[in-house]
Amino acid sequence: MTHQTDPLPDLADLLRFYAEAGVDDAIGEEPVDRFAETAAQPAPAPARRPETAARQEAAAPPPPTLPALAVPDEAQAAKAREMAREARTLDELREMLERFDGCNLKLTAKQTAFSDGNPQAPLMLVGEAPGRDEDIAGRPFVGRSGQLLDRMLSAIGIARADGAYIANVIPWRPPGNRTPTPLETEICRPFIERQIELANPKVLVTLGGPSAKVLLHATDGVLKLRGKWRTHVTASGVEIPTMPTLHPAYLLRNPAHKKLAWRDFLEVAAKLDAVSG
């Protein structure tokens, strides 16, 4: 009896079978540790940088050195008082503020918003601090609250350009419009007090609670202070009648209180007529 041997498969058919089965790599009889092979290979040498790039990196200037932060303390406040006393004109006071480095708010502000309007005007108005628009323009009260203030002044017959002098307790915008710290306010206080003294207005208006507290040494809130005449006394002893009133920014948020500010501005107009006559 004879045994019939199965014919060998065609090589092309065998390769096609392997391909359909997913076999795409030939392996040997013994397993190979590919991880060991990779670890044994030497690490590739780092690519050489072009000589031009290396020279440019070597010649790159060091990062700029930021000015040292001033510690807001009594020493800086004393320095501000001394500088403010030395100013003989408003222009000199502005130049001193530009040189003064004792308040960190100056480092983050774009510009010093010193004043706007007419320094010879009989009326001076003082707010707290510049906002974003004022920081860009370098002048106080030029944004939405400033536009409302212009309308309030116009309602009593006063134009900003020649009939009013406008400033802030703090001439530099606090970052993010945050509330100035008590030390920042105290450092800036001598400059605004000297600014009022040099401008020597007949009537002073404080816009908002913070400026009223600084210039009138008041402790009550602005809703209690407003509408009642107070007195600001300069370093030389000059007494200036002062009307605390609501800040225009507050009135934009609380339009129902515009009638209160209107009463205050009517009082201001009457006082200006009295002191001018």
What is the predicted pLDDT for the residue at 73? Answer: 72
What is the predicted pLDDT for the residue at 66? Answer: 45
| Amino acid identity, position 128 | E
Instruction: Collect contacts of 246-250 with beta carbons under 8 A, ≥24 apart.
Output: 246/207, 246/208, 246/222, 247/127, 247/128, 247/145, 247/207, 247/208, 247/209, 247/222, 248/141, 248/144, 248/145, 248/146, 248/148, 248/149, 248/152, 248/207, 249/131, 249/144, 249/145, 249/208, 250/208, 250/222
Residue 78 has pLDDT above 50, yes or no: yes
Q: Calculate mean pLDDT across residues 77-88.
A: 94
Give the model confidence (pLDDT) of 163-190 as tens digits.
Answer: 999 999 999 999 999 999 999 999 999 9
Query: When comparing pLDDT for 22 and 257, which is higher?
Result: 257
How does the average pLDDT of the chain come out, rounded? 86
Query: When comparing pLDDT for 140 and 2, which is higher?
Result: 140
Domains of the chain, start order: 74-276 (3.40.470.10)
CB count in 10 Å sphere of residue 159:
13
β-strand pairing of 203-207 with 239-245? parallel
Residue 19 has pLDDT above 80, yes or no: no
Residue 210 has pLDDT above 80, yes or no: yes
Q: What percent of the chain has pLDDT over 70?
A: 74
Residue 21 has pLDDT above 60, yes or no: no
What is the predicted pLDDT for the residue at 103? Answer: 94
Give the model confidence (pLDDT) of 103-113 as tens digits.
Answer: 999 999 999 99
Q: Calculate mean pLDDT across residues 41-70.
A: 56
What is the predicted pLDDT for the residue at 9? Answer: 54
Give the model confidence (pLDDT) of 220-264 as tens digits.
Answer: 999 999 999 999 999 999 999 999 999 999 999 999 999 999 999
β-strand pairing of 239-245 with 123-127? unpaired
What is the predicted pLDDT for the residue at 68? Answer: 52
Mean pLDDT is highest, among 48-57, 63-72, 125-134, for 125-134
What SS3 class is residue 153?
helix
What is the predicted pLDDT for the residue at 199? Answer: 98
Q: 75-114: string of b/e by CB count within 10 Å (b at 16+)?
A: ebbebbbebbeebeebeebbebbeebebbbbbeebebbbb
Residue 74: pLDDT band by 50, 70, 90 thresholds?
confident
CA distance 240 to 242: 6
Cα of 159 vs its chain's centroid, Å:
29
Residue 161 has pLDDT above 70, yes or no: yes
Least confident of 19-28, 73-82, 152-161, 201-210: 19-28
